[in-house]
């Protein structure tokens, strides 16, 4: 019945579509949420989607192999650094503006 | 008693079923992250999403990365996020608007993006790819410390900088109330 | 200095000598002296007048004009008698290259022939006498120095116009004359009516000047040269291919003459110009400036002779103006207005003469009219002075005993203009009418005859009301009426002489007294007009004193006499009082006369017509255009500004200052690009 799902865990398409879906969800969250930390969480989702895609390619592409995992690890490291600094900034701004809601940071508005 | 080769009614293999389960959990919790009103619950949903993702990494043949995912994302980043949420709570938080005014166009844009990627993926000929390849820890270690030493060191410097920066930014004013 | 007719036929077949000799210096001095006088008086006149008195400011302008007259007479005599270096066709004197612009090269210079000489006589003589008269007339005016400065400027302009040898220089003199006229009409500038009259004169003149300027351009386009003699020769060359037809050129030039010489319909400025002081009226509006138009057409006579349709137009407008003006003069009460309309009428005669081809007659009348009209105007100024600035004839009367010199000289002038022999007007008027009839323009002759009668009538009306009968002078003024100072009466006497005798003098040796000979003036002016006259009419018939010409003389004298007698009977003669009551009864008797009275009193409503057309309707058009400019043109420009501003304001909304909005923009842009890329790649 669900024959198109046969060997789905062995097909590159599935991983990529999943990654794309996760990326879109993250993009929506980034563009739509008001809280700055929600935006950062959405960014983490997007980075994870990228990681998934990289790993998937690494699994199925003969030339990539271990390199894909290395890439994924480095991306993970960068994401950690970015989360750290981003959250520190949000906390600093929160101290100044008393709100974590980004649409109230409008000092640059015309 | 041994398990049957395929699931009785659906005709799927057990691997595929598990894969789909993990996929569903991941997508579901990701949706919860972006849609829920209470931000703490969003953080928790994010943790679940990371966990499901780790399972998917295992299916994709990188158990090392799966382990790193659990350690780094769930163990460090999520905790960091939860701390930050607690430090920036406002009383009015959960009651006010969750979404921006531009949420609707953003939703459409995201949907179009997903569609685009799906179309691009489906339209591409992946016949040159081979079987799923498992990356062992030993191979990964050799690769990492032989050919990718510089990126590895750079990442550690990056992390050091991030830590220093984070501490500096989040520090309280000297002698002032927080 | 031979004046006998025999010397006229002395062969001067050789071309005018190239060497002008002493005349190369004398001729430029004629206009140069007055302009120097103007400069001097304009710069120093006021100070001189305040420090040393009136005479100090008047000395230089007077001296300059007298000197100019003396030199002019020295030049005029050889020019008229065709002596060397003038010859038959005049002396061309190129002074310097004025506009060296390749295709358009204009040399400033003078051309003096018999026609120029005739005009010079009139201009300098009357100019000099008016200057002298002004010393007396303006004796109580604080702005005398200004007056003399303007007078000198006017003399310069007029002399420049008459002496010029190329069209552009004529035009320069033309415009300067207009400017001087404006300054002099509006001399009493604080009087609103004077300022308005000056403006009106200038503007109406300008209308004519447009035609003249177009005519000059047409001449240049046709011939490539602006030298008068050269261009005229080229224009009438047989077989010449002209870009612009001769008729158009002639009519354009005539348009300029119409403006300056106040022909219908550009005649409206002349009566209003009487707002200026009387010497101005005498000089500019009787003797010199208004003759500029006549001079222009006479100078351009080949142009007209070869465009005979234009000549008919000239004759028609001329004679129409004559009768129109004469009719208005019947009912005017201001003494200067009557004389102004009389001037219009006589100018009409001159143009009628030019139109029928009687060129010498036109110039003849120009000269005699200059003298007796100048006399009449100066005399009227003396009268006005005597009754303490009163100009309404109904408040004069019985003055002949009190201001005898003025009276007797004006009487001579009146008889002259009426055309009674043997005074000057008879000869010139009769020649015009005779030639008109003989050349076949019977309608011109007939109307001209009627005008002659009308002229006699209204002139006697003027004399009767002003000098004869009982005194209607304001009782307060009556005892103080006195004769004017010698500076005013001497010019009157001096002008009365040519008014009486010039006609006889200029026809000496020719018809009508000597039917076989050629008159003096005709002999002098012959070479200027010979070619045109021959082209028009071939060789002229002999003068038949006891044939057609005699009958014509009898007709004109009879008509003039009838007019005179009726005038005397109605308006008085010496002590006999006029029959004003009878006049009033006749006027009121039937609707036709009442209408005529009203019509002529209102100048046939031409001023009202102009006011309606140009002020009211023109004003509406101007208001509409102003609205258009304000609302539509400015509105468009401002509108563009507003649109840009609006767009800017709208686009400004994009700058929300919020990162997420910018990120959405980036996302959408990315999607669009990726999507289109996918589609394009997908096509292939």
The reported pLDDT for the residue numbered C634 is: 86
Test C675 with B112 for CB contact under 8 angstroms.
Answer: yes
The reported pLDDT for the residue numbered C85 is: 75
Cis peptide before C85 (omega within 30 of 0): yes
Residues A14-43 have pLDDT tens digits of 899 999 999 999 999 999 888 889 999 999
Test B170 with A91 for CB contact under 8 angstroms.
Answer: yes
Test C667 with B106 for CB contact under 8 angstroms.
Answer: yes
List chains adjacent to chain A, taking adjacency as at least 3 C-beta pairs closer than 8 Å.
B, C
Q: Are C299 and C245 in contact (CB under 8 A)?
A: no
Spatial distance between the Cα atoms of C492 and C496, rounded to a whole number of angstroms: 6
Residues C632-656 have pLDDT tens digits of 888 888 889 999 999 998 888 877 7
Residues C559-580 have pLDDT tens digits of 888 888 888 888 877 777 767 7
Evaluated on CA atoms A22, A26, A32, A33, the torsion sign reads positive
The reported pLDDT for the residue numbered A47 is: 96
Residues of C in contact with A108 (CB under 8 A): 655, 657
**Nearest chain A CA: its distance from C665 CA (Å):** 10
Test B96 with A3 for CB contact under 8 angstroms.
Answer: no
Flag whether residue B115 sits within 8 Å of chain C, measured between CB atoms.
Answer: no
The reported pLDDT for the residue numbered A19 is: 96
The reported pLDDT for the residue numbered C138 is: 85
List chains adjacent to chain C, taking adjacency as at least 3 C-beta pairs closer than 8 Å.
A, B
Flag whether residue B106 sits within 8 Å of chain C, measured between CB atoms.
Answer: yes
**Domains of chain A by start residue, with CATH:** 12-105 (1.10.287.3510)
> Shortest CB distance from C678 goes to which of B102, B106, B119?
B119
Residues B40-64 have pLDDT tens digits of 999 999 999 999 999 999 988 899 9
pTM: 0.69
> Shortest CB distance from C667 goes to which of A31, A39, A110?
A31
- Percentage of chain B lying above the pLDDT 90 cut: 48
Flag whether residue A97 sits within 8 Å of chain B, measured between CB atoms.
Answer: no
Spatial distance between the Cα atoms of C35 and B71, rounded to a whole number of angstroms: 112
Flag whether residue B123 sits within 8 Å of chain C, measured between CB atoms.
Answer: yes
ipTM: 0.89
The reported pLDDT for the residue numbered C10 is: 28
Cis peptide before C265 (omega within 30 of 0): yes
**Nearest chain C CA: its distance from A3 CA (Å):** 27
Q: Are C327 and C453 in contact (CB under 8 A)?
A: no
The reported pLDDT for the residue numbered B79 is: 95
pLDDT band at B9 (very low <50, low <70, confident <90, very high): low
| Element (DSSP H or E) covering residue C572 | strand C572-573
The reported pLDDT for the residue numbered C156 is: 93
Residues of B numbered 37-56 whose beta carbons fall under 8 angstroms of chain A's beta carbons: which are they?
39, 42-43, 46, 49-50, 53, 56
The reported pLDDT for the residue numbered C560 is: 87
Test B116 with C671 for CB contact under 8 angstroms.
Answer: yes
> Shortest CB distance from A18 goes to which of B23, B77, B168?
B23
Query: Which chain C residue has its CA at the smallest distance from B110's CA?
Result: C667
The reported pLDDT for the residue numbered C521 is: 80
Query: Which chain B residue has its CA at the smallest distance from A27's CA?
Result: B110
Test C668 with B105 for CB contact under 8 angstroms.
Answer: yes
Dihedral, C350, C351, C357, C361 alpha carbons, nearest 10 = 10
pLDDT band at B10 (very low <50, low <70, confident <90, very high): low
Intervals of chain C under pLDDT 70: 1-19, 239-240, 512, 515, 539-547, 578, 684
Residues of A numbered 24-83 whose beta carbons fall under 8 angstroms of chain B's beta carbons: which are they?
24-29, 31-38, 40-42, 44-45, 48, 51-52, 55-56, 58-62, 65-70, 72-74, 76-83
Test A14 with B111 for CB contact under 8 angstroms.
Answer: no
Q: Are C223 and C231 in contact (CB under 8 A)?
A: yes
Spatial distance between the Cα atoms of C364 and C263, rounded to a whole number of angstroms: 19
């Amino acid at each position: 019945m669900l024959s198109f799902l046969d060997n789905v865990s062995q097909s590159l398409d599935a991983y990529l579509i999943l990654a794309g879906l996760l990326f879109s969800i993250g993009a929506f969250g980034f563009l739509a949420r008001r809280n700055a930390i929600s935006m950062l969480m959405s960014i983490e989702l997007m980075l994870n989607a990228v990681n998934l895609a990289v790993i998937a390619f690494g699994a199925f592409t003969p030339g990539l192999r271990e390199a894909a995992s290395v890439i994924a690890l480095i991306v993970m490291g960068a994401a950690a650094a970015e989360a750290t600094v981003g959250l520190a900034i949000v906390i600093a701004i929160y101290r100044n503006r008393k709100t974590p809601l980004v649409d109230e940071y409008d000092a640059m508005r015309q | 008693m041994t398990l049957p080769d395929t699931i009785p009614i659906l005709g799927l293999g057990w691997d595929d079923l598990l894969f789909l389960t993990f996929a569903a959990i991941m997508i579901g919790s990701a949706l919860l992250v972006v849609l829920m009103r209470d931000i703490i619950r969003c953080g928790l949903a994010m943790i679940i999403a990371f966990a499901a993702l780790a399972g998917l990494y295992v299916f994709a043949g990188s158990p090392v990365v799966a382990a790193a995912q659990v350690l780094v994302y769930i163990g460090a980043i999520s905790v960091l996020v939860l701390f930050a949420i607690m430090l920036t709570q406002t009383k009015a938080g959960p009651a006010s608007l969750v979404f921006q005014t531009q949420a609707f166009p953003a939703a459409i844009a995201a949907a179009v993006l997903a569609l685009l990627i799906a179309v691009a993926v489906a339209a591409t000929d992946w016949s040159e790819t081979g079987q799923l390849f498992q990356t062992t820890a030993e191979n990964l270690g050799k690769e990492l410390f032989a050919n990718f030493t510089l990126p590895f060191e750079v990442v550690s410097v990056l992390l050091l900088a991030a830590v220093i920066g984070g501490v500096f930014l989040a520090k309280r004013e000297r002698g002032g109330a927080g | 200095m031979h004046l006998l007719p025999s010397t006229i036929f002395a062969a001067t077949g050789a071309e005018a000598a190239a060497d002008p000799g002493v005349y190369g210096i004398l001729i430029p001095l004629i206009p140069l002296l007055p302009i120097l006088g103007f400069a001097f008086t304009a710069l120093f006149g006021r100070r001189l007048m305040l420090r040393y008195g009136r005479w100090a400011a008047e000395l230089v302008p007077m001296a300059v004009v007298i000197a100019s007259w003396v030199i002019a007479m020295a030049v005029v005599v050889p020019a008229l008698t065709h002596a060397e270096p003038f010859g038959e066709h005049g002396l061309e004197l190129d002074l310097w290259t004025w506009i060296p612009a390749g295709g358009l090269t204009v040399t400033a210079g003078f051309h003096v022939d018999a026609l120029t000489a005739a005009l010079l006589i009139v201009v300098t003589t009357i100019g000099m006498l008016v200057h002298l008269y002004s010393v007396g007339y303006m004796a109580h005016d604080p702005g005398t120095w200004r007056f003399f400065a303007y007078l000198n400027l006017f003399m310069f302009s007029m002399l420049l116009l008459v002496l010029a040898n190329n069209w552009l220089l004529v035009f320069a003199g033309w415009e300067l004359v207009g400017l001087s006229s404006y300054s002099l009409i509006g001399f009493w500038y604080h009087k609103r009516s004077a300022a308005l009259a000056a403006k009106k004169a200038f503007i109406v003149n300008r209308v004519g000047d447009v035609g003249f300027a177009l005519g000059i351009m047409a001449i240049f386009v046709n011939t490539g040269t602006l030298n008068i003699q050269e261009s005229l020769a080229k224009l009438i060359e047989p077989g010449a291919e002209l870009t612009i037809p001769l008729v158009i050129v002639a009519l354009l030039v005539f348009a300029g003459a119409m403006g300056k010489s106040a022909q219908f319909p550009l005649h409206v400025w002349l009566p209003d110009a009487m707002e200026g002081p009387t010497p101005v009226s005498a000089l500019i509006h009787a003797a010199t400036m208004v003759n500029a138009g006549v001079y222009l057409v006479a100078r351009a006579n080949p142009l007209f002779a070869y465009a005979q349709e234009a000549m008919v137009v000239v004759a028609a407008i001329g004679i129409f103006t004559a009768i129109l003006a004469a009719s208005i003069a019947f009912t005017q009460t201001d003494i200067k207005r009557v004389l102004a309309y009389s001037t219009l009428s006589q100018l009409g005669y001159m143009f009628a003469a030019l139109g029928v081809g009687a060129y010498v007659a036109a110039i003849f009348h120009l000269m005699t009219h200059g003298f007796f009209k100048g006399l009449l105007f100066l005399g009227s100024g003396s009268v006005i002075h005597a009754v303490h600035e009163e100009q309404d004839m109904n408040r004069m009367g019985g003055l002949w005993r009190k201001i005898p010199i003025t009276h007797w000289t004006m009487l001579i002038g009146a008889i002259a203009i009426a055309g009674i022999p043997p005074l000057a007007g008879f000869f010139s008027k009769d020649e015009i009418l005779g030639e008109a009839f003989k050349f076949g323009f019977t309608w011109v002759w007939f109307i001209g005859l009627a005008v002659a009668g009308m002229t006699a009538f209204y002139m006697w009306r003027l004399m009767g009301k002003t000098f004869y009968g009982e005194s209607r002078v304001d009782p307060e003024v009556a005892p103080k009426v006195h004769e004017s100072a010698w500076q005013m009466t001497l010019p009157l006497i001096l002008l009365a002489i040519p008014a009486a005798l010039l006609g006889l003098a200029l026809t000496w040796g020719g018809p009508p007294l000597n039917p076989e000979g050629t008159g003096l003036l005709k002999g002098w002016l012959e070479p200027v007009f010979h070619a045109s006259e021959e082209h028009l009419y071939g060789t002229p018939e002999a003068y038949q004193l006891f044939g057609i010409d005699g009958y014509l003389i009898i007709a004109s004298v009879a008509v003039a006499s009838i007019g005179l007698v009726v005038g005397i009977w109605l308006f008085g003669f010496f002590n006999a009082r006029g029959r004003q009551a009878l006049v009033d009864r006749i006027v009121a008797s039937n609707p036709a006369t009442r209408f005529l009275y009203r019509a002529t009193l209102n100048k046939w409503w031409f001023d009202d017509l102009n006011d309606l057309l140009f002020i009211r309707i023109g004003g509406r058009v101007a208001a509409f255009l102003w609205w258009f400019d304000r609302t539509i043109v400015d509105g468009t420009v401002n509108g563009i500004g507003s649109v840009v501003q609006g767009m800017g304001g709208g686009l400004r909304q994009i700058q929300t200052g919020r990162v997420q909005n910018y990120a959405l923009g980036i996302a959408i842009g990315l999607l669009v690009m990726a999507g289109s890329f996918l589609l394009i790649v997908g096509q292939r």
